[in-house]
Amino acid sequence: MYHTLIVDDEPLMRKYLGENLSAICSDFQVTGIACDGLEAVESIQKQHFDLVITDIRMPEMDGLNLAKHIHDTGIQAKVAIISGYNEFEYARLAIKYNVSDYLLKPLNDAQIKETLIKIKFELEEDVLRKHAKHPSFYREATPLELKSSLLSAIINKENALIQKLYNLIKKQNLTFTGKFSTLLLLCIDDLYLLLQEKTVSDNTSYSLMLNQLCQSYCLTNNLTTAKDDYGNSIILLSADSEEELTVLVKQVYSIIQQKWQLDHIKLIASYGNIVKDMLSLTTSYDMAMQSFALVLLNGTSPISSSYYISQSQFIQELNTIWIA
């Protein structure tokens, strides 16, 4: 059961969410209610909440400033913002403060349920990440679990955890990377889903199916896979030369695509720069993530690191628009 704080200056909205949230999704229980951001901050200081659902416009402290406070102080709680205004600036700031979802009024039960299912998925991922830090994990984990946890730690730049897992993998004489390595990222095409009028919960389900497919394939072929915070599936690939690695990336993507049973749901993929050491995999991941934007220019997957470099001006223009 996930503890939820409702923050809204409208009594009817507080009453509606307070009385109906558990009925909409039984995994969430309202354990706190606040009239504005300042009252919410006081509640957060007194007890733990897994989720904060807040209106965006309130007196004293609004929803975005509350989200900023939660983000800046490192409080471990997801945030969903409710707004009656479909404005880009609000959405941009919400993403900046790691807000999990941005809900537009008028709300309905189906919309709320989609959001809660998505946030439940995020909370479960957080639990798995914490499990990898528990002392018992180092004693009981299989080689594939160790390597998957190391890959996840590298993606999330958790340096202390990287060192622990790497030392353990080295102690067990396990191979993590080869002479040349890269990260292949696979995900559901969100734009394609949007055009088909699919819901958030549909997207989450498809992402889970894709991750399970990647896990099954990697288990059979002794490859390392993990998921990032966005639900993308990641496969670590290595080879003895850059040319062999480029061919391998395309082969693996082709096999995953062939095994994907849902022809009406489009997969997209990209891979980052080819690196020679483990810690540089973070740059490979970052480049692969940014390369997803190039699907707008080139519908062919996987998008390569060389194509990303050739389109550096387009990427720079995108970043300028995003930051502005």
Alpha-carbon Rg for the chain in angstroms: 21
4 within 8 A of 31, measured Cβ to Cβ? yes
Alpha helices in 132-189 (DSSP H): 135-140, 143-155, 159-171
In this model, does residue 110 exceed pLDDT 70?
Answer: yes
pLDDT of residue 234: 95
**Identity at 77, one-letter amino acid code:** A
Backbone phi, psi, residue 193, to 5° = -65, -40
Query: 76-103, pLDDT tens digit by residue?
Result: 899 998 887 665 556 656 666 778 777 8
Q: How confident is the model at residue 200 (pLDDT cuts 50, 70, 90)?
A: very low
Query: 293-317, pLDDT tens digit by residue?
Result: 777 666 677 888 777 666 666 666 6
Higher-scoring residue by pLDDT: 52, 187:
52
Query: 259-293, pLDDT tens digit by residue?
Result: 997 877 888 899 999 999 998 999 999 989 888 77
pLDDT of residue 323: 47
Mean pLDDT of 21-40: 93
Residues 6+ apart with CB under 8 A from 143: 169, 172, 174
Strand order in the sheet with 28-34: 28-34, 2-7, 51-55, 78-83, 101-104
Residue 137 Cα to chain centre, angstroms: 23
Of 294, 242, 286, nearest to 268 by C-alpha is: 294
Mean pLDDT of 141-158: 87
Q: Supply the DSSP string of 294-307, one letter for each residue.
A: GGGT---SSBPHHH
pLDDT of residue 61: 87
Strand residue runs (E) in 84-179: 101-104
Mean pLDDT of 62-83: 88
**Structure tokens given for 210:** 């894709």
Q: How far is CA 22 from CA 11, 27, 44, 298, in A?
A: 18, 7, 20, 44
Mean pLDDT of 250-267: 88
Lowest mean pLDDT among 44-48, 66-70, 126-130, 148-152: 126-130
- Token pair 């919410």: residue: 40
Domains in the chain: ranges and CATH = 2-127 (3.40.50.2300), 177-323 (3.30.70.270)
pLDDT of residue 86: 60
Neighbours of 212 (CB within 10 A): 11
Lowest mean pLDDT among 32-36, 82-86, 169-173, 211-215: 82-86
308 within 8 A of 315, measured Cβ to Cβ? yes
